[in-house]
């Protein structure tokens, strides 16, 4: 995927290098980053908050709980380093695409989110952000949180990688912001709170995540219409990544078995399907995963 003609966004808050490895959180008990990442992936696969596993491991290690600190402000604007600038360019293209597509297709104005780059740990309005938890969107402060070392994890542990695959990950989180602007995300959160079981709450989460996958595909469709910068190899990268991060594959790797009721993001097949739906048509309305019998 070529990114040389994408506009870098200034809506980046770069906290990397601030506050001693992410500033906002200090890990006691001497847990290594490999252990933290492993616990994070395990929690993601099992539908458990990774922070619970990490805190528990710290207590077992005798280090007590984590110490929370105030979040650093970070540098504002597009970073100049290679990976930071790439992230800023992808974010800028999400702004340029959605500022046109959302009003045209959904009659909603697009207000862009901030993207926070951090290393290790930091604070968000939704709680502590850790690299082991992977990228996420916080609807409370309308920010996307990303430790770019997750991209290295995609290659090493998850079998995915490449510029378009990394762009897909960013676009997926921005897709959650689009859901928020459409009013979908608040309804999902309310439905989850009212759910009668964990399995029912997880089912809402799956549909929410698959919709974000589809919206990432919509973004890629229109980016390619604007710049002709996505080819078949790029699409294969994104499909490989969507496959690698399916709940069924992650669970099979982590525990040897698959428990569909505990899915929170969708199976590999579901994630590839909905990404492809967005990629093929560029239509926001086609991404309504809540109106289908089987997502």
Higher pLDDT, 237 or 24: 237
3 occurs within a structural domain: no
Q: What is the pTM of this model?
A: 0.77
Length of the chain: 295
Quick one: pLDDT at residue 12?
A: 96
Burial of 219 (0-12, 13-18, 19+ CB in 10 A): buried
Quick one: pLDDT at residue 106?
A: 97
Q: d(Cα 202, Cα 59) in Å, to the nearest integer? A: 28
6 occurs within a structural domain: no
Q: d(Cα 268, Cα 250) in Å, to the nearest integer? A: 9
100 occurs within a structural domain: yes
Rounded mean pLDDT of 122-136? 83
Tell me the pLDDT band of 245, cut-offs 50, 70 and 90: low
105 occurs within a structural domain: yes
Domain that holds residue 233: 12-287
> What radius of gyration do the chain's Cα atoms show?
18
Helix, strand, coil abundance in the chain, percent, nearest 5: 55, 10, 35
Burial of 82 (0-12, 13-18, 19+ CB in 10 A): exposed
Q: Summarize pLDDT for 148-201 with one digit per residue, the tens.
A: 888 887 777 655 578 888 898 899 999 999 999 999 989 988 988 998 888 888
Q: Summarize pLDDT for 264-286 with one digit per residue, the tens.
A: 566 777 888 899 999 999 999 99
Quick one: pLDDT at residue 32?
A: 42
Q: Tell me what the pLDDT averaged over the chain comes to.
A: 77
32 occurs within a structural domain: yes
Rounded mean pLDDT of 37-54? 48
Domain count, the chain: 1
| C-alpha distances in Å from residue 7, one per residue of 90, 113, 184, 238 | 8, 16, 28, 22
Higher pLDDT, 261 or 122: 122
Q: d(Cα 50, Cα 97) in Å, to the nearest integer? A: 33
292 occurs within a structural domain: no
Q: d(Cα 134, Cα 130) in Å, to the nearest integer? A: 7
Quick one: pLDDT at residue 46?
A: 44
> Residue 290: is its pLDDT beyond 60?
yes
Rounded mean pLDDT of 125-143? 85
270 occurs within a structural domain: yes
> Residue 56: is its pLDDT beyond 70?
no
Tell me the pLDDT band of 237, cut-offs 50, 70 and 90: confident
Higher pLDDT, 36 or 28: 36
Q: Closest Cα partner for 115 from 97, 99, 82, 93?
A: 93
1 occurs within a structural domain: no
> Residue 126: is its pLDDT beyond 70?
yes
Quick one: pLDDT at residue 292?
A: 78
For the CA atoms of 165, 168, 172, 175, the dihedral, rounded to the nearest 10 degrees, stands at: 180
Q: d(Cα 110, Cα 189) in Å, to the nearest integer? A: 21
Q: d(Cα 16, Cα 74) in Å, to the nearest integer? A: 7
Q: What is the DSSP string of 10-79?
A: S-EEE-TTSTTTSSSEE--TT--HHHHHHHHHHHHHHT--HHHHHHHHHHHTT--S-EE-PPP--EES--
Helix (H, G, I), strand (E, B) or coil at 175: helix
> Residue 247: is its pLDDT beyond 80?
no
Contact 172, 227 (CB under 8 A): no
What is the percent of the chain where pLDDT is above 70?
69
Quick one: pLDDT at residue 70?
A: 52
Higher pLDDT, 68 or 231: 231
């Amino acid at each position: 995927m070529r990114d040389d003609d994408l506009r870098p966004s200034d809506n980046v808050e770069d906290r990397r290098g601030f506050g001693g490895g992410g500033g906002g959180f200090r890990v006691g008990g001497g847990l290594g980053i490999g252990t933290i990442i492993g616990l994070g992936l395990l929690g993601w696969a099992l539908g458990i908050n990774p922070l619970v596993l990490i805190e528990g491991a710290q207590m077992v290690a005798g280090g007590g709980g984590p110490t929370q600190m105030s979040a650093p402000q970070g540098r504002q604007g597009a970073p100049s380093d290679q990976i930071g600038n790439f992230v800023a360019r992808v974010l800028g293209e999400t702004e340029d695409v959605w500022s046109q597509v959302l009003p045209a297709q959904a009659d909603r104005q697009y207000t862009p989110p901030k993207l926070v780059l951090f290393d290790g740990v930091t604070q968000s309005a939704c709680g502590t952000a850790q690299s082991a938890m992977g990228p996420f969107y916080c609807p409370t402060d309308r920010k996307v949180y990303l430790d770019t070392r997750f991209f290295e994890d995609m290659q090493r542990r998850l079998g995915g990688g490449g510029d378009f695959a990394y762009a897909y990950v960013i676009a997926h989180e921005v897709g959650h912001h689009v859901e928020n602007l459409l009013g979908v995300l608040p309804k999902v959160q309310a439905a989850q709170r009212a759910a009668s079981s964990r399995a029912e709450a997880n089912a809402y989460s799956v549909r929410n995540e698959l919709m974000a996958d589809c919206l990432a595909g919509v973004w890629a469709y229109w980016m390619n219409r604007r710049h002709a910068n996505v080819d078949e190899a790029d699409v294969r990268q994104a499909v490989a990544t969507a496959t690698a991060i399916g709940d069924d594959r992650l669970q099979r790797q982590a525990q040897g078995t698959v428990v569909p009721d505990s899915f929170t993001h969708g199976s590999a097949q579901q994630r590839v399907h909905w990404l492809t739906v967005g990629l093929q048509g560029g239509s926001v309305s086609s991404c309504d995963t809540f109106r289908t019998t089987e997502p």
